[in-house]
Structure 1
Amino acid sequence: MLIRRLSFIFILLVTAAGCADRDLQERGLVTEQAMVVSAHPLASAVGAEILRQGGNAMDAAIAVQFALAVVYPDAGNVGGGGFLVLRQHDGMLDALDYREKAPAAAHPDMFLNEQKEVVEDLSLKGHLAAGVPGTIDGMVQLHEKYGSMPWQELVQPAVALAANGFTLTSKEAEKLNEQRLEFIRYSTRRPEFILKPHWSEGDTVQLQDLARTLELIRDKGRAGFYEGRTADLLVAEMKRGGGIITKEDLADYTSVWRKPLTGQANGYRIISMPPPSSGGIALIQLLTISEAYPLQDWGWNSVKSAHLMVEAERRVYADRAKHLGDPDFYRVPVEGLLAPAYIQRRMKGFDPGKATDSDLVAAGAPAPPESPNTTHYSIVDAQGNAVSVTTTLNSSFGSKVFVAGAGFLLNNEMDDFSVKAGFPNSYGLVGGEANAIAPGKRMLSSMTPTILEKNGELFMVVGSMGGSTIITTVYQIILNVTVHGFPMQAAINAGRFHHQWKPDWILSEWGALGALDGLGLWWKGHRLAPKPGGIGRAAGILVLPDGRLEGGADPRGDDAAAGF
């Protein structure tokens, strides 16, 4: 017992450390007309330049997506997928689902052994972990519907970055060094272009194979990836490594335009992604719950505020596990999950003085309808169009498999399915029938690209990376601005904590909770665990009262804002 108490005191001290490291009143870059915030300075600069040339936010989103595939390979991609939410300057909304899909040969038991037990790492690493990529089809569809500049001009900056080389940041150099042996183990042919014995900050990386792949995409559009040379190389990689993606899978892939989810909380309209993302539903549920409590009076990350937020997260993630999946395969009760009366009932057992045991929290029974390392970028153009995009390979560097001759990494999104009912994925998330593996199905995601309106006008564009922590990261950032009055940069700087129903503990960044607040939560029955590496990497843009734009770039990464 003494050891347990001493261990807890140590956790409190560690969790409380660093409170002064980040300025909670800091403002980010402020621009007059347009803004791009992304995970890498070079990608943000590419997007800003497209906007300077007269391109719209959707043009810039395409250019940033491809630039990230070069300079941010752990999550930026051509071999993955993502979600996009947009708001045009006239208030019209749209959402693009370019999430990966399960190959036609996929089946519910593909990651189980003969005893029906999950085979360790099979859904996470190697060729079988990859879903059919959606990024290129998504960007082509975005350009066909909303693009204003020539396609070739939007892809060319990424071609130049890959062919001419770019300078590594210290964080990116460290990640390449950490993954070196994984790349060798899981790629069927050694990707020598990325296997330098030791990378250092300031080193130049040239990716000639990727440059050729991007040139094909630049010149041939969709056919430059899903057909011809690139498709041949991808399928050959699959055959060598025991994967199951075929040319037919590539040819059959198509993105889907969906209707964004909308909700109201604290006087703001929330616009976010519908299923197969769980982010929009969970975020609107969390903000609806929070609206009913005086969080402003209780204070930022106080015991009362944090306790309420954790209890809300516990219930929302329980709903996620049972009810959410690909709406093309499973009838997701969206209207029921977002009904205010249902959300209020979910908090019926909330005790202000005591934590709820997650084993006693089951998913709710919403009324039926009446009729997954990631990266995020946010863009607002001079006309007032706004785009919020979250794109991913799933884990950092995806499946660790480079497509030989094509120079890009494949995703490991198959792990985002429920590989076995009740079995947690790499983020500890559990699921069931709604998210079971099926051919052609899109796997459930936590990505939460979001736009807020106030009084009918654009107010905020925000999103984050971070797997299962994406939802709670976006939730806390929105509360930091709309309830606690933080500037955009300070709202992103602020320490974060996370709870997801199971496992039943609070992950907390250093400095997110003071020692006394942590003690107060422990006294209520919560279990705390420090998260030294940080939670999420967010990118946000706030429209200031005078119409200028404030960018929030996450100090946890190399994120940067650029604009004019």
Structure 2
Amino acid sequence: MVVSAHPEATRIGLEVLRRGGNAYDAAVAVQFALAVSLPAAGNIGGGGFVVYRGADGAVGALDFRETAPAKASRDMYLDKQGNVVADLSTRGHLAAGVPATVAGMWALHQKLGKLPWRELVQPAVDLAAKGLALTSKEAAGLNATKFITTEVQTGSRYEHADVSPQLHAEVKVPEFGHLPNAYERPGRPWQPGDTIRHRFLAATLARIRDQGRAGFYAGETARLLLAEMQRGHGLISQQDLDQYQPKWRTPLRGRYRQYEVISMPPPSSGGVALLQLLQMLEPYDLRRLGWHSADAVHLITEAERRVYADRATYLGDPDFGRVPVAQLLAPDYLKQRMAGVTAASAATPSAQVAAGAGLPGYEPDQTTHYSIVDAAGHAVSCTTTLNGGYGSKVVVAGAGFLLNNEMDDFSAKPGVPNMYGVIGGTANAIGPGKRMLSSMTPSIVTEKGRLRLVVGTPGGSTIITSVLQATLNVLDYRLDAQQAVAAPRLHHQWLPDHIDVEAGALTPAAEAELQRRGYKLNPRSAWGRIDLIERLPDGTLRGGADPRGDDTAAGY
């Protein structure tokens, strides 16, 4: 079974499985297909994480998170007064971290793949060259997005405090404008059913097909990327491309009731946070309290606000400092964090909640996910991202791919929220070659040594809570896979101090009771696109494809 964010990507992944490829082969094919079919998040100009479990029960994790360029510096998004410059970390060339996706897919295939590399990339080449019809959601997304021109840089000037010796004088915040490329409107707004062809992207993918990693990080593609950096005053250099390496990491493993949960370690905060939340909630009978009852929502929210406070203080790139993972997951610590919280207690204002004490300090939206299980039982959970929708809005001229704006996932200044409203501190400060903290939470759940769930989602800071809710929906509330991903969601991230509420997530009685206890409710449009595979006791696979997007589940 394959569940991904676009029907074409799901189709391509399933064809790989039918041809005898394994789940890792299908993951590579799906990733490159999403780079064509889902430009808002699918990518070759971003990065991500893979958590996998082999048919023999062996587990692993691959970190292909972007890194800060060598010329990046801690205060590069601050003006001379020390204030964060609006938009500089989210749009334009300075927002881009070193792309990691191609290196990650190459590493995954070299270690675990079965079919020839070129056979896995070729379907994406064909998709880009022949074109594909836009869905209504993708047409709306393109119409709402303006891409940054690389021809003329205009915009407000400011004196930059600390970019790099080469850029110390003045840098421009680019204005939006259209660079002629596949995404430019055809003289009118895009309509569902319009065919969009990617001539330059097809050529780039063909180089990756023929040359592997070198087809992106060297040669013509690298030349085009570096030319784009020069035009837009970006920081990525050939040295950055040469030195980038994905990293194999040991996944985090924890218990929740009779289940084992396998998730991503730092520099993702997702695995730590998910395991903290599940352990905090295990003492409570959530099923008895009822789905989204006031008591259940209260307990989940109190756990979430404490976990996000810890995230802001302690989590960052483990290669640049000590991350106290074991202490954060210690049962006694988590019990202490929830001390005084009962099903009937009042809300705890976030102003009164800080990160847990006594731990060693750290020392020096738009995303997509796919879940795959093959016939042998290999399982892949992969979350990949450009960060914001369409990343930095920069299309590499002549190469046809979008650059990420992952630099916004660093803490530009301690205590100042990023684009998702998440607060960060010193542990996640910008540093050359450093990986920015992430909320991506690709996860796998087993029961009695057998695969139970493969789950993940996009959604920025809401990723962690969305994966939590989908997992609880299946394991505690006994919803099937499709019901679990479709159910309306709630979210709390410590700051700002309110519960985000999707339409239909709370009954009027639950709303009234939560408000009585002191909670502020914030109605929000739908978020996230959970892709989930559930393995039933008889071995049948059941897919859940989030109806909030064009997500599609298919199997045989």
The answer for the alignment partner of 1:64 in structure 2 is 30
In structure 1, the residue matched to 2:206 is 215
SS at 2:457 equivalent = strand
Q: Please state whether the residue corresponding to 2:144 is helix, strand or coil.
A: helix
Matched, 1:270 2:236: no
1:296-445 → structure 2 map (5 Å cutoff)? 296-350=287-341, 352-365=344-357, 367=359, 373-445=366-438
Cα 1:375/1:61, change in 2 over 3 Å: same
Q: Which letter maps to 1:56? A: N
* 2:445 is the alignment partner of 1:456: no
List aligned pairs for 1:28-427, cutoff 5 A: 35-180=1-146, 190-196=179-185, 197-350=188-341, 352-365=344-357, 367=359, 373-427=366-420
> 2:156: which partner in 1?
none
The residue type equivalent to 2:459 in the other structure is G
Tell me the secondary structure at the aligned position of residue 497 of structure 2.
Answer: coil
When residues 302 and 170 of structure 1 are mapped into structure 2, their CA distance, relative to the original with a 3 A threshold, is: same
* Greater RCO, 1 or 2 (C-alpha within 8 Å, sep 6+): 1
- The one-letter code of the counterpart of 1:242 is H
1:550 Cα offset (Å): 0.1
| Amino acid corresponding to residue 179 of structure 2 in structure 1 | R
Structure 2 match to 1:555: 547
Hey, what's the Cα distance between the residues in 2 that align with 1:79 and 1:349?
46
- Change in Cα spacing, 1:512 to 1:188, as seen in structure 2 (3 Å) is closer
Matched position secondary structure for 1:513? coil
Q: How many angstroms apart in 2 are the aligned matches of 1:542 and 1:407?
A: 36
State the one-letter code of the partner of 1:389. C
Larger displacement relative to structure 2 (342-351 or 105-114): 342-351
Counterpart secondary structure, 1:179:
coil
Question: Corresponding residue for 2:503?
Answer: 510
Instruction: Work out the CA distance in 1 between the residues paired with 2:359 and 2:416.
Output: 27
Instruction: Indicate the structure with greater helix content.
Output: 1
Q: Which residue of 2 is the match for residue 31 of structure 1?
A: none
1-structure distance, mates of 2:258, 2:220? 52
Task: For structure 2, list consecutive stretches of 5 or more residues without a partner in the other structure.
Answer: 151-173
Verify the 8 A CA contact 2:146 2:178 in the aligned structure 1: no
Amino acid at match of 2:37: V
Identity across aligned pairs (percent)?
Answer: 59
What is the CA–CA distance in structure 2 between the aligned matches of 1:187 and 1:248, rounded to whole Å? 29
Cα contact 1:138–1:255 (8 A) shared by 2:
yes
| Residue 526 of structure 2 corresponds to residue 541 of structure 1 | no
Sort the Cα spacing of 1:308 and 1:130 in 2 relative to 1 into closer, same or farther, 3 A: same
**What residue identity is the alignment partner of 1:365?**
A
What is the Cα deviation at residue 180 of structure 1? 3.2
Alpha-carbon offset, residue 348 of structure 1: 1.2
Cα displacement (A) at 1:183? 6.3
Per-residue deviation, residues 173-213 of structure 1 (Å, max 9, x unmatched): 00000113656866887133211231101110100000000
Residue ranges of structure 1 left out of the alignment (5+ in a row): 1-34
1:546 positional shift:
1.1
Q: Which amino acid counterpart does residue 123 of structure 1 have in structure 2?
A: S
Between the aligned partners of 2:297 and 2:552, the Cα distance in structure 1 is 29
State the 1:353 CA deviation: 2.5
SS in 2 for 1:286: helix
Secondary structure of the structure 1 residue equivalent to 2:74: coil
Instruction: Give the letter for the 1:43 counterpart.
Output: A
Cα distance change, pair 188–234 in 1 and its aligned pair in 2 (3 A): farther
Instruction: Work out whether residues 373 and 395 of structure 1, in 8 Å CA contact, stay in contact via their aligned partners in 2.
Output: yes
- List per-residue Cα deviations over 1:73-107 (Å, max 9, x = no partner): 00000000000000000000010000000000000
- Taking the aligned partners of 1:181 and 1:79, their CA distance within structure 2 comes to 15
Task: Tell me by how many angstroms 1:134 deviates.
Answer: 0.5
Distance (whole Å) between structure 2 residues aligned to residue 189 and residue 559 of structure 1: 29
Kindly indicate whether the alpha-carbon contact (under 8 Å) linking 1:324 and 1:332 is maintained by their aligned counterparts in 2. yes
Classify the secondary structure of the residue corresponding to 2:182: helix
Q: Secondary structure at the match of 1:243?
A: coil
Q: Which residue of 2 aligns with 1:3?
A: none
Kept after mapping to 2: 8 A contact 1:188/1:240: no
Superposition TM-score, scaled by structure 1 size: 0.92
TM-aligned CA deviation for residue 535 of structure 1? 2.1
Question: Are residues 1:469 and 2:435 paired?
Answer: no
Q: TM-score, normalised by structure 2?
A: 0.93
Deviation at 1:368, TM superposition (A): 5.1
SS in 1 for 2:146: helix
Residues 187, 402 of structure 1: 8 Å contact kept: no
Is 1:488 matched with 2:481? yes
Q: How big is each residue's C-alpha offset from its partner over 1:505-553, in whole Å with a ceiling of 9 and x where there is no partner? A: 0001000111111111100000001112x12110000001111100000
**1:438-476 deviation digits (Å, cap 9, x = unpaired):** 000000000000000000100100000000000000000
2-structure distance, mates of 1:392, 1:486: 28
What's the CA shift string for 1:99-136, capped at 9, x where partnerless? 00000000011000000000001000000000001000
Cα distance, 1:499 vs. partner?
Answer: 0.1
Cα pair 2:147 2:178 within 8 Å, conserved: no
Asked whether the equivalents of residues 253 and 261 of structure 2 are also in contact (C-alpha less than 8 Å), the reply is yes
Q: Is the 8 A contact 1:186 1:401 kept in 2?
A: no
Aligned-residue Cα RMSD (Å) equals: 1.3
Change (3 A) 1:554 1:116: same
Give the 3-state SS of the residue equivalent to 1:471 in structure 2: helix
Change (3 A) 1:519 1:556: same
